[in-house]
Chain A
């Protein structure tokens, strides 16, 4: 009887460690507008594929804040802040089935969205979004940032991670 219980405990412990060693089963959703999957766990890594909001990836391994993911037969690294465990559903109606399995679901476009912004703008003609739209377009290319690092003799910890 004691032996059986002991085996159970060992078995359970084994299962737990297997779960921590191989989080391959975890599926996460992209929670930002665009997420680049890279060859190496670094923002300098070559982009393998770019994913869109709501896309799903399977987690293979972890390296600090970087997650190795696979998607449609391709594999690469993405920073954990781009992903969520919530199931992001793009279309209403599809949510009902998926939410039951994943536990937590978020419907893209629900809540404060472009409709709400349009309604807000209609009531606040004095608030101008021109410069917000302009500043959002400013995206410094990776090559220019690398040049900035080199010219400024910036010794980042482990390179641009």
Chain B
């Protein structure tokens, strides 16, 4: 007689799905913090990771992702001026577009494109859909082309894994769905368009505040590093390029800086995590031809 009661209970749990999971995570982590088991930072990280399980972002088509990405990139560029140098930008795009061919997602709606930001801060951002911005400071951390390839491959990894879209609060997407309704209406009226634009603005700010201020959950950074190793191995670069770049970064990052010092796990933690993935014998490091063109191109940066 007990079984009939169990079935509705299980059904409820399944149907309630991720919302319940989120609440459980929130309650669980706040208990953890108050009991002193975990730090507030760790709690935030756990809550973020669990939220990602919802995968509501999958309702965003690559076309919509493209429009989100354009505005995210424009917003980041409003705070970080572009570095206008044709030779370096072409080099960066040649390397980056080559690497993107080896990702699990080489085709996005508008393709992968790369730009340098004119700042000594050590930063790089990947807007959804493949608009990737790398700072002068970050390129300055790289001593070889393989290291720069490591930086770009990590950012391509974020795009491939939809990390930007997953930073959007689920309530935005619910709101967008309500405005759009189930009808196949393409052209919205004044108020609906204004409401949808508000939702769009909030989605953009969810992403930009994550990538520029709070940073992704550590799990996402490690996932992007893992994707980068695959891309580097497939494309003929040494995956150790990423490791040696992280060592350079460790030397150059200033504590309290408003860049990777704030938004990313410590380089030594990423190196430790990478050691689990990189198990093969390193490819011959830095062919002389690559080194010559790298030095020649970034000279004067």
A, B co-complexed: yes
* B200 and A116 form a contact (CB under 8 A): yes
* B196 and A79 form a contact (CB under 8 A): no
* A109 and B186 form a contact (CB under 8 A): yes
Among residues of B, the one whose C-beta sits closest to the C-beta of A157 is: B234
In the assembled complex, which residues on chain A have CB atoms less than 8 Å from the CB atom of B233?
157
* B236 and A155 form a contact (CB under 8 A): yes
User: Least Cβ distance of B277 to chain A in Å?
Assistant: 16
* B77 and A132 form a contact (CB under 8 A): yes
| A125, B23: Cα distance in complex, Å | 39
| A145, B93: Cα distance in complex, Å | 10
Among residues of B, the one whose C-beta sits closest to the C-beta of A139 is: B111
Q: Which of B3-11, B48-56, B62-70, B216-224 contacts A (4 or more CB under 8 A)?
A: B62-70
Also in contact, A132 and B184, with CB within 8 A (given A43-B101, A113-B63, A116-B196): no
A96-130, CB < 8 A from B: 96, 99, 105-117, 119-120, 123, 126-129
Decide yes or no whether B213 CB sits under 8 A from chain A: no
Decide yes or no whether B75 CB sits under 8 A from chain A: yes
Decide yes or no whether A46 CB sits under 8 A from chain B: no
User: Least Cβ distance of A128 to chain B in Å?
Assistant: 6
Interface residues of chain A, those whose CB is within 8 Å of chain B, are 31-33, 35, 43, 53, 65, 79, 81-82, 84, 86, 88-89, 91-93, 95-96, 99, 105-117, 119-120, 123, 126-129, 131-132, 135-136, 138-140, 144-145, 148-149, 151-157, 160-161
Also in contact, A135 and B131, with CB within 8 A (given A31-B109, A128-B74, A156-B102): yes
In the assembled complex, which residues on chain A have CB atoms less than 8 Å from the CB atom of B75?
127
Decide yes or no whether B248 CB sits under 8 A from chain A: no
Decide yes or no whether B275 CB sits under 8 A from chain A: no
In the assembled complex, which residues on chain B have CB atoms less than 8 Å from the CB atom of A132?
70, 73-74, 77, 131
* B186 and A110 form a contact (CB under 8 A): yes
**What is the interface of chain B mostly: helix, strand, loop, or mixed?**
helix
12 contacts between A and B (CB under 8 A): A43-B101, A81-B105, A108-B63, A115-B187, A120-B204, A135-B73, A138-B114, A140-B98, A152-B289, A153-B287, A157-B233, A161-B101
* A140 and B289 form a contact (CB under 8 A): no
* B70 and A129 form a contact (CB under 8 A): yes
Per-position contact with A for B188-203: 1 when CB-CB < 8 Å, else 0?
1000011011001101
- 9 nearest A-B pairs in the assembled complex, by CB-CB distance: A154-B236, A95-B184, A82-B107, A119-B197, A81-B107, A112-B64, A153-B287, A156-B236, A135-B113
User: Least Cβ distance of A122 to chain B in Å?
Assistant: 9
Known A-B contacts: A92-B184, A119-B194. Give 6 more (CB < 8 A).
A110-B185, A116-B196, A120-B197, A128-B74, A139-B113, A151-B289
User: Residue A154 contacts which of B82, B110, B131, B237 (CB distance < 8 angstroms)?
Assistant: B237
* B290 and A153 form a contact (CB under 8 A): yes
| A59, B200: Cα distance in complex, Å | 35
B202-244, CB < 8 A from A: 203-204, 233-237
* A79 and B107 form a contact (CB under 8 A): yes
Decide yes or no whether B21 CB sits under 8 A from chain A: no
| A111, B196: Cα distance in complex, Å | 8
* B113 and A120 form a contact (CB under 8 A): no
In the assembled complex, which residues on chain B have CB atoms less than 8 Å from the CB atom of A153?
287, 289-290
| A126, B75: Cα distance in complex, Å | 9
In the assembled complex, which residues on chain B have CB atoms less than 8 Å from the CB atom of A152?
145, 287, 289-290, 293
In the assembled complex, which residues on chain A have CB atoms less than 8 Å from the CB atom of B234?
156-157, 161
In the assembled complex, which residues on chain B have CB atoms less than 8 Å from the CB atom of A53?
63, 109
User: Least Cβ distance of B86 to chain A in Å?
Assistant: 10
Decide yes or no whether B61 CB sits under 8 A from chain A: yes
* B200 and A138 form a contact (CB under 8 A): no
